[in-house]
Structure 1
Amino acid sequence: MQRAQRNSLRLLQWMMAASLALPIALFAVAAAISYTSTKDTADREIERTVDVAHEHALKVFETIDRSLAELNEVVRGLPDDVIRAREPTLHRRLKRLSDSLPQLKSAWIFDANGKALVNSLVSPPPDLSFADRDYFYAHVDQSIGTFIGTALTPRPPYQGARFFGVSRRRESDDGRFIGVIQASVLPEYFESFYARIGSDPGSFLAMGRTDGAMLTHFPRLDHELRLDPTGPVGQKIAAQPQHGLITVAWPSDGIERRIAYRRVAEYPIYVSAGLETSAIRARWLATIGQHLVFGIPATALLFLLLALALRRTQHLQAEAAKRREAEEALKHSQRLEALGQLTGGVAHDFNNLLTVIRASVDLLNRPQLTEERRQRYITAIADSVARAAKLTSQLLAFARRQTLKPEVFDVGARVQSLHDMLATLLGPAIEIVMQLPAEPCLVNADASQFETALINMATNARDAMQGQGRIVFKVEATTAVPDTLASTGPGMAGHGFVRVTVSDTGVGIPAARLGRIFEPFFTTKQVGHGTGLGLSQVFGFARQSGGEVTVTSEVGRGSTFSLYLPRVPPDLLPQRQAPNTAPAVAGSGMSVLVVEDNIELANFAADGLTELGYSITLIDNATDALAELVVDADRFDVVFSDVVMPGMTGLDLAQAIRDRSIGVPVVLTTGYSQALSQEGVAGFDLVQKPYSIEELSRVLHRAARIRRVRDGAAE
């Protein structure tokens, strides 16, 4: 930081020395940037203008095309003498058409010799031949669809403005040429439109055919414009025939213009819009002139300002250093406060649990203790350990580091089974309403964690209502999920989601707090009255299960929490879990290799299993355990290993046993493992810490029994 400050002071000194040269350089850079910006702005304006002109031309020609098609249908199959007989009626129809379309001067129906059968100008039409007009003879030899001719002057006795023809071939049923239907289009109609959209100085708009003949342009020029398709401009257009933006000197007047062109759909017509490059430069010079107005006085004051800046910079750097120190101190204080709030709540809950355990141990040591009181104190210790494990599980749930035990269960049935417990938990002053679906809503998730999440949401709702109000629990299947689940893979949400909503009539959550309610560091309770981990557990459980949790709330109107879990197919029935209250299983001499780096925990497991009749071998690291198995694996019936150990982990040990085809089953245990939370147990049995000797004996016995059954089948 000090080096940067010295560099800034040195820079100011150099700027004072270069106070005359710098404005000139800055002006040159600004002029170059301004010129580029002015050109870019002009290009955007030109492209917008040509887009407008294109849409206008497209609508005009499509309208005329439809009108000609309708006229062709009216006279289709009619002989010329029938058309002449109906001439008054057809004349009125053509006149209505030309009067309704301001772009039309007249409409005509010609016979095969170029004589008008009907037109919109006079009735009956004079006996004149128009076979020499391009809009007629272009159709004689072949069918070319809609033809757009060049600009023409009316032939006497007809008078008026110049026009260009849009015509279509009349054919008999066998495809013979029998005449032409033609509309005379006024170029001045386009010119008046171009005058409205091209009001800027130097503007230029034109419409021409693909062969280079100009039909109309704005502004009007004294001479006729024509573009040579083989010339430089025509070659540039041919390179990009649909649309483009080019700078050209127009051959007819020699004026350089920036031109954008675009072809009108399938018609052989181009529309173009542009600005004279001199007009673009005039805009740039006007901008530069504004810079000079401010630049010249600024140059005169620059030296004085730099001198003042040097002095002020020294002062500001000193102030900035003090401010940074204050900000760092504040951030450190906030982090400590947040950490203190979390640890205070956790310590409060753990101290309560430890107090119960310590008091129970002290009471167990008293002489002449009755069996009933001894059992009560043992039960209190077991309950406290269970609550401590639950608190640890909440911490791991938010961090998404717990190892879940997914099972398929019906969410509606599970919520219904919790009704009585929720009624007791929430109290008699809170009305509970359950809206459950008739059909099963199955999910594959950790049922215990799901129940904990539901209880946490219910407890949060109870606190928000201050123990009195109404809570609605609703379960439903849904395909509409929050935006945050847009990135969920198809395997996770292939069957939709099950949504569990908990709605209360509490005080609501201010909008400023909605973004923080799932943070473990955030709680509205007083220090020492909670850890703030309830909703954090819901958040972690939802995310680790492939779902999401959202909240909507309005102050004074209550809150609604929605838990989304991926739904599984309805043909999967819920799996029943074995009860955890089964008695311990005797070892009967079963040999167990215990791999545990914590010697106290290892001795606890070894003592408990030894009392049940197991033969125990203790090793404190996975490397030595693997070496022992390689030498003589038949000594052991099962391996029981901790996951988190220095060096080779228990999961690595289990994988190595599997890779070496050592036929000894492996049971893993852990209280926290990032690897297991992300990758799972890879098919190995798992016992969560804290565990009981009874639970451990059941898992070991089951693993060994599965091995014996497998070995017997192999024989």
Structure 2
Amino acid sequence: MQGAQRNSLRLLQWMMAASLALPIALFVIASTISYTSTKDIADREIERTLDVAHEHALKVFETIDRCLAELNEVVRGLPDDTVVSREPALHRRLKRLTDSLPQLKSAWIFDADGKALVNSLASPPPELRFTDRDYFYAHIDQAIGTFIGMPLTPRPPYQGARFFSMSRRRDSNDGSFVGVIQASVLPEYFESFYARIGSDPGSFFAMGRADGVLLAQYPRLERDLRLDPGGPVGQNIAAHPERGLMTIAWPSDGIERRIGYKRIAEYPVYVSAGLETSAIRARWFATMGQHLVFGIPATALLFLLLAFAFRRTQHLQAEAAARREAEEALKHSQRLEALGQLTGGVAHDFNNLLTVIRASVDLLNRPQLTEERRQRYITAIADAVARAAKLTSQLLAFARRQTLKPEVFDVGQRIQSLHDMLATLLGPAIEITMHLPAEPCLVSADASQFETALINMATNARDAMQGKGRITFEVEAVTSAPDMLAPVSGSRDLTGNHGFVRVAVGDTGVGIPAAQLGRIFEPFFTTKQVGQGTGLGLSQVFGFARQSGGEVTGTSEVGQGSTFSLYLPRVPSEQLPQRQAPNTAPAVTGSGMSVLLVEDNIELANFAADGLTELGYSITLVDNASDAFTELIADADRFDVVFSDVVMPGMTGLDLAKAIRDRGVGVPVVLTSGYSEALSQEGVVGFDLVQKPYSIEELSRVLHKAARLHRVRDGAAE
């Protein structure tokens, strides 16, 4: 009791510590998840913004490119003199073009010597040559399509904002170089657009050529910048040339940013969009700050409540101890009452059986007893022993400790074969109705235990109807059984994928109150009068069902009767064995067969030894497994078979059998037991088993069969 009190206080102390540690741990985990989520959201925002910037730049370049192509078609094949003669008209056309496109500063037509023939700024154009500009000399040697130049400052007398160029080559009819058509593009047009779509704090945009020359940037550049292709930016782009995401310190200002980039289709230009990592962290801090606003007061309140509970628990220890003592006393009283009810029922049944045995023995001792009466008394003793064994089996069935002998049988046929016996058992006032399926419903279970379970359910129904009414037996295949508890020790997993067979026994009796329905399978619970039963009938059904891998349920309504449903795992029809004739063979003589009998109960050992000796067996009696194993190791050829009890002090009979097999001793082993937890859990693992109580006739047949099979195997091996 004091230990429990200390444990409760220690638990509260741990809870107080956990009320601080757990929120902190959860906050750390949540922070990590939130930071990852914030980064993912930022990446998705960057990619969406990047797609917008990419589509904008693509349309601008395509528009300018189409304009250059149209101008090239206008002047294609015209000599320079003709172009000069049409300069006023061409000037107006170029001016309308630049006025309609806000991204353009100016448009130009140059001859082969770099002289401006026409431009949109002045008419006629000044006598200047532009052969040193990249947008001109890039086209001299070969046709390269549309060329995008680096940012430039206007050459006097022209003034205004900086620009970068888009230009195309002018070719003669024979393909020779005759000049250039060029458009001056305003970087500030892109930067203004970026300012509109990049309203979030820390937003960043850039547009640059594939060789690292920046064309536009937001926030705007204070100086020209060319990115190093071998630097971090160039390396990332080289690894993923079409598009990607990277976290770098931008060379122009050294600020760390999360940047996405994408190449503009058909142009050697990249568009970038990004956010400063400090802005991403600021979002994360804001989110976690909201959690802290609520989390810190809640954690503090929980800690204070636990501290109060700790102090309160200390004050209530004396009261709790007294209450537990009172509850324990009540439980003890209930256990004694239940145990008294069980022992009373068992004692009642055993006393009836012992009375039959004692009276039969007394009558057998009378002189001048006729053979017919002597046989009747012997039969009465045998029947009483069989009923006592059945009662013991019921006790073991509830404990789920009996050793089952599963066999495959058809449930419908087995119930049909019991019809006459059930009719006699239930009485003429009980109407029996059976609903059996046409197709086989096969199960793998202990047939004897199944019949016992069926009889127990039928008897329980008869008692509920006070001997008058209707009992319905129904068999059907179902796909699943009700939810079962965790598998018990010793139960078999047979469910497979074949479903279950449901055996329902319904009656028209008085029904079971809902308050008692949950206790109907308890061995200590019965509605019968004291001494009129053990209360083990439904308990045997429960234990048999659970150990067979199935379940049993009960439903009832007061005044309407009850239905008990037994679920057993179904097996496929191909597992049904061939029908065999029943074994009615008498005892088999020993003919000098040598048996090593291992039994620690001297009375039972003498009974078995005397019975087998009368049948002609040669018996060597040993009272423990260790000595028996020593005898076998010394001279195993002396024995034809080993017959051993399972439950013995020290080395068990099952241990002996396994040791004989592992050592390679060529002597067959037959085991016997009335109860063994090891057998109920592990089974006989390949050894023959004779259940107690057994007859000498049954024992002789099993020993003879084991020895004969061993000799056949040895002969085949030779």
**8 Å contact 2:473–2:506 — kept in the other structure?**
yes
Within the candidate set 515, 537, 544, 1:541 is matched to 544
Structure 1 residue aligned with 2:555: 553
Q: Is 1:328 equivalent to 2:328 in the alignment?
A: yes
Structure 1 residue aligned with 2:655: 652
Give the C-alpha shift of residue 357 in structure 1: 1.2
**8 Å contact 1:592–1:639 — kept in the other structure?**
yes
**8 Å contact 1:441–1:477 — kept in the other structure?**
no
**8 Å contact 2:457–2:564 — kept in the other structure?**
no
C-alpha distance 33-374 of structure 1, shift in aligned 2 (>3 A): closer
* Larger Rg computed on CA atoms: 2
Q: Deviations over 1:527-575 (max 9, x none)?
A: 3232222222223223322x2214252524533413122414x223325
Structure 1 residue aligned with 2:706: 703
Q: Deviations over 1:296-330 (max 9, x none)?
A: xx9xxx9xx99xx99x9998554444333222212
Amino acid at match of 2:617: Y
Q: Deviations over 1:264-309 (max 9, x none)?
A: xxxx999999987998899799879989x999xx9xxx9xx99xx9
SS at match of 1:407: strand
Structure 2 residue aligned with 1:621: 624
Structure 2 residue aligned with 1:450: 450
The worse-fitting range, judged by mean Cα deviation, of 598-607 and 490-499 is 490-499
**8 Å contact 2:50–2:260 — kept in the other structure?**
no
**8 Å contact 1:457–1:561 — kept in the other structure?**
no
Structure 2 residue aligned with 1:75: none
SS at match of 2:575: coil
TM-score, normalised via structure 2 length:
0.60
SS at match of 2:338: helix
C-alpha distance 647-436 of structure 1, shift in aligned 2 (>3 A): same
Q: Deviations over 1:106-127 (max 9, x none)?
A: x99x989679xxxxxxxxxx99
Structure 2 residue aligned with 1:355: 355
Give the C-alpha shift of residue 510 in structure 1: 4.9
SS at match of 1:431: strand
Q: Deviations over 1:172-212 (max 9, x none)?
A: xxxxxxxxxxxxxx99xx99xx9xxxxxxxxx99999999x
Mapped to 2, the partners of 1:590 and 1:471 lie a distance apart of 52
C-alpha distance 697-5 of structure 1, shift in aligned 2 (>3 A): closer
**8 Å contact 1:409–1:575 — kept in the other structure?**
no
Q: Deviations over 1:647-686 (max 9, x none)?
A: 2222222233333443332221111112222222232221
Structure 2 residue aligned with 1:501: 503
RMSD: 6.1
Mapped to 2, the partners of 1:414 and 1:316 lie a distance apart of 62
**8 Å contact 1:39–1:280 — kept in the other structure?**
no
SS at match of 1:518: coil
Structure 2 residue aligned with 1:567: 571
Amino acid at match of 1:350: F
The worse-fitting range, judged by mean Cα deviation, of 42-51 and 487-496 is 42-51
**8 Å contact 2:457–2:505 — kept in the other structure?**
no
C-alpha distance 284-551 of structure 1, shift in aligned 2 (>3 A): closer
SS at match of 2:574: coil
Structure 2 residue aligned with 1:492: 494
Give the C-alpha shift of residue 445 in structure 1: 2.2
Q: Deviations over 1:581-614 (max 9, x none)?
A: 4322222333322221111111111222222232
Mapped to 2, the partners of 1:548 and 1:492 lie a distance apart of 8
Give the C-alpha shift of residue 331 in structure 1: 2.1
Structure 2 residue aligned with 1:469: 470
Mapped to 1, the partners of 2:622 and 2:503 lie a distance apart of 49
C-alpha distance 44-455 of structure 1, shift in aligned 2 (>3 A): same
Tell me the percent identity: 61
Give the C-alpha shift of residue 472 in structure 1: 3.1
Structure 2 residue aligned with 1:367: 367
**8 Å contact 1:461–1:471 — kept in the other structure?**
no
C-alpha distance 56-654 of structure 1, shift in aligned 2 (>3 A): same
**8 Å contact 2:342–2:534 — kept in the other structure?**
yes
Structure 2 residue aligned with 1:20: none
C-alpha distance 281-341 of structure 1, shift in aligned 2 (>3 A): same
C-alpha distance 289-464 of structure 1, shift in aligned 2 (>3 A): same
Structure 2 residue aligned with 1:376: 376
Mapped to 2, the partners of 1:366 and 1:481 lie a distance apart of 58
Number of residue pairs matched? 558
C-alpha distance 36-470 of structure 1, shift in aligned 2 (>3 A): closer
Mapped to 2, the partners of 1:490 and 1:391 lie a distance apart of 23
Structure 2 residue aligned with 1:412: 412
Give the C-alpha shift of residue 367 in structure 1: 2.5
Amino acid at match of 1:658: R
Amino acid at match of 1:410: D
C-alpha distance 656-562 of structure 1, shift in aligned 2 (>3 A): closer
Q: Deviations over 1:439-466 (max 9, x none)?
A: x333332211222222223333334444
Mapped to 2, the partners of 1:459 and 1:613 lie a distance apart of 45
Q: Structure 1: state its 5+ residue gaps.
A: 10-25, 63-67, 69-106, 116-125, 134-140, 143-185, 195-203, 212-222, 225-233, 244-251, 255-259
Mapped to 1, the partners of 2:525 and 2:444 lie a distance apart of 30
Q: Is 1:433 equivalent to 2:434 in the alignment?
A: yes
**8 Å contact 1:396–1:402 — kept in the other structure?**
yes
Q: Is 1:522 equivalent to 2:506 in the alignment?
A: no
Matches within 5 A, 1:69-80: none
**8 Å contact 1:442–1:567 — kept in the other structure?**
yes
**8 Å contact 2:357–2:381 — kept in the other structure?**
yes
Amino acid at match of 2:569: L
SS at match of 1:571: helix
Mapped to 2, the partners of 1:366 and 1:709 lie a distance apart of 49
Give the C-alpha shift of residue 483 in structure 1: 5.8
C-alpha distance 544-111 of structure 1, shift in aligned 2 (>3 A): same
SS at match of 1:409: strand
Amino acid at match of 2:415: V
Structure 1 residue aligned with 2:187: none
Q: Structure 2: state its 5+ residue gaps.
A: 10-15, 68-95, 105-143, 146-192, 208-218, 221-232, 238-242, 246-252, 262-271
C-alpha distance 684-49 of structure 1, shift in aligned 2 (>3 A): closer
